[in-house]
Amino acid sequence: MAEIDLLAHYPKAKRNVEQRGQEKSEEDRRIGRLFGKEYFDGDRRFGYGGYNYHPRFWQPVIPTFEQHFKLTKHSSILDVGCGKGFMLHDFARHIPGIHVKGIDISAYGIANALEDMKPFLRVGNAKKLPFPDKSFDVVISINTIHNLPPEDCKQSLREIQRVARRGSFVTMDAYRTPEEKQRMDAWNLTALTYMHVDEWKKLFNEVGYTGDYYWFIP
């Protein structure tokens, strides 16, 4: 288990956290947490404000995962919280032949996925992954598990541990200082479980999660 930023080459957006905190209402958060059309392709206050594929996002990141996990065309990957399949699409393009699967709670996201990825994606819940033990070499979950309440969050990490053969990587909403917590409180739209990085590490140990991890801190 290692704290490692495998998303170091993901483009960094400029964030006006204070403005976002002032604009977001509890109703916006309720709608965002439905993870439907409004979250992906509706008004910006509910989520992405238009979730479309662009190679500049995941293509710079894929080689980092490839090297870290020593991925080849014989490897298999599961993306928990795959959305429209953008990351898996770039994995498949960068490593031809690699076996990819994705699962997401959003029926809208899966229905509107990239066409080449649709055969490999399915609707499902992270707290009960519909795959046998040790089904995938690597399981990845980016900014997803924290959208569940604490007990379901724990169960999802157990599930990731269960279906991963060689390794896993998750990112969580987190903070290290009171100032970062204040920013996270303002920024948060969908996360139901976010906490200090030391609390996350304690939780990882509690549930027996032995994969790699990193944080989203606005």
Burial class (CB within 10 angstroms; exposed 0-12, middle 13-18, buried 19+) of 25: exposed
Q: Let me know: does 44 contact 64? Beta carbons within 8 Å.
A: no
pLDDT at res. 23: 80
What's 167's DSSP letter?
Answer: E
**Res. 68 pLDDT band, cuts 50 70 90:** very high
Please say if the pLDDT value at position 21 is more than 80: no
> 17-216: which CATH topology?
Rossmann fold (3.40.50)
Domain boundaries, the chain: 17-216
**Res. 138 pLDDT band, cuts 50 70 90:** very high
The secondary element (H helix, E strand) that includes residue 88 is: helix 86-94
Q: Let me know: does 134 contact 178? Beta carbons within 8 Å.
A: no
Q: Let me know: does 17 contact 187? Beta carbons within 8 Å.
A: yes
The pLDDT of 108-125, averaged and rounded, is 98
| pLDDT tens column, 164-212 | 999 999 999 999 999 999 999 999 999 999 999 999 999 999 999 999 9
The maximal CA–CA distance of the chain, rounded, in angstroms, is 48
By three-state DSSP, how is residue 103 classified? strand
b/e per residue, 45-78, with b = 16+ CB within 10 A? bbbeeeeeeeeeebbebbebbbeebebeeebbbb
For residue 195, the Cα-to-chain-centroid distance in whole angstroms is 16
